[in-house]
């Protein structure tokens, strides 16, 4: 009998909580959807970590510039996706970004800054377009875009943190091995194995 009275007393609170949870602010939901999109997709994770990793490997000023170029250009790609501008082979471009960036790291390629910026920017268009076309119907596009830019930035920071290991001989081996792993995972996505 005591459980029944407790349940009866708690029932109105549960109903209020259910109504509140069902009507979340679409801006918050859009932000969370955007934030988690790059973090929960391994195809995005490897490329975005690779951008920070390669930037750290290249040193100043690339360590600062590449992780800024990528989200800025990605936002343009996201806007193209939201408004429905088609870009061919988006998924292949995303997978190829992991392969190329991973190989650049694995083989310790020291590209000039402008070349590195172009490479990162081209791949950012594909990632952004995918984020834009996968915008949830109820989400605010601006909040969603802010979310995916911040999520991407955190992945870049993770890559930079790993890339700072290049200061030692053992660290350089770890960084290059991470590049090889990123390239292998990218190839698995490219060939449909992952």
Strand (E) or helix (H) holding 131:
helix 113-133
**pLDDT given for residue 12 in this prediction:** 42
Residue corresponding to tokens 């081209």? 122
Domain assignment present for residue 8? The answer is: no
Separation of alpha carbons 100 and 105, rounded Å: 9
Domain assignment present for residue 164? The answer is: yes
pTM assigned to the model:
0.83
For 141-170, write each residue's pLDDT tens digit. 889 889 999 999 999 999 999 999 988 999
Domain assignment present for residue 7? The answer is: no
Number of independent structural domains in the chain: 1
Strand (E) or helix (H) holding 48:
helix 42-58
In the chain the first and final C-alpha atoms are separated, in Å, by 55
Give residue 168's domain range: 21-190
Domain assignment present for residue 150? The answer is: yes
126's tokens: 């594909």
Domain assignment present for residue 117? The answer is: yes
Asked if pLDDT for residue 14 goes beyond 60, the answer is no
For 39-88, write each residue's pLDDT tens digit. 999 999 999 999 999 999 999 999 999 999 999 999 999 999 989 999 99
């Amino acid at each position: 009998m005591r459980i029944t009275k407790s349940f009866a007393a708690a029932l109105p609170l549960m109903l209020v909580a259910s109504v509140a949870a069902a009507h979340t602010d679409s801006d918050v939901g859009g932000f969370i959807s955007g934030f988690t999109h790059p973090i929960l997709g391994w195809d995005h994770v490897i490329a975005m970590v690779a951008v920070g990793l390669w930037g750290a490997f290249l040193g100043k000023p690339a360590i600062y510039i590449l992780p800024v170029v990528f989200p800025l250009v990605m936002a343009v790609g996201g806007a193209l996706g939201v408004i429905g501008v088609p870009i061919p082979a988006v998924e292949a471009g995303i997978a190829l970004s992991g392969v190329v960036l991973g190989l650049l790291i694995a083989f310790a390629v020291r590209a000039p800054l402008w070349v590195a910026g172009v490479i990162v920017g081209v791949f950012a268009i594909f990632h952004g377009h995918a984020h834009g076309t996968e915008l949830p119907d109820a989400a605010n596009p601006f909040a969603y875009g802010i979310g995916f830019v911040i999520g991407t930035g955190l992945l870049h920071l993770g890559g930079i943190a790993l890339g700072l290991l290049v200061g030692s001989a053992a660290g350089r081996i770890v960084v290059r091995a991470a590049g090889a792993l990123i390239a292998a995972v990218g190839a698995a996505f490219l060939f449909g194995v992952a």
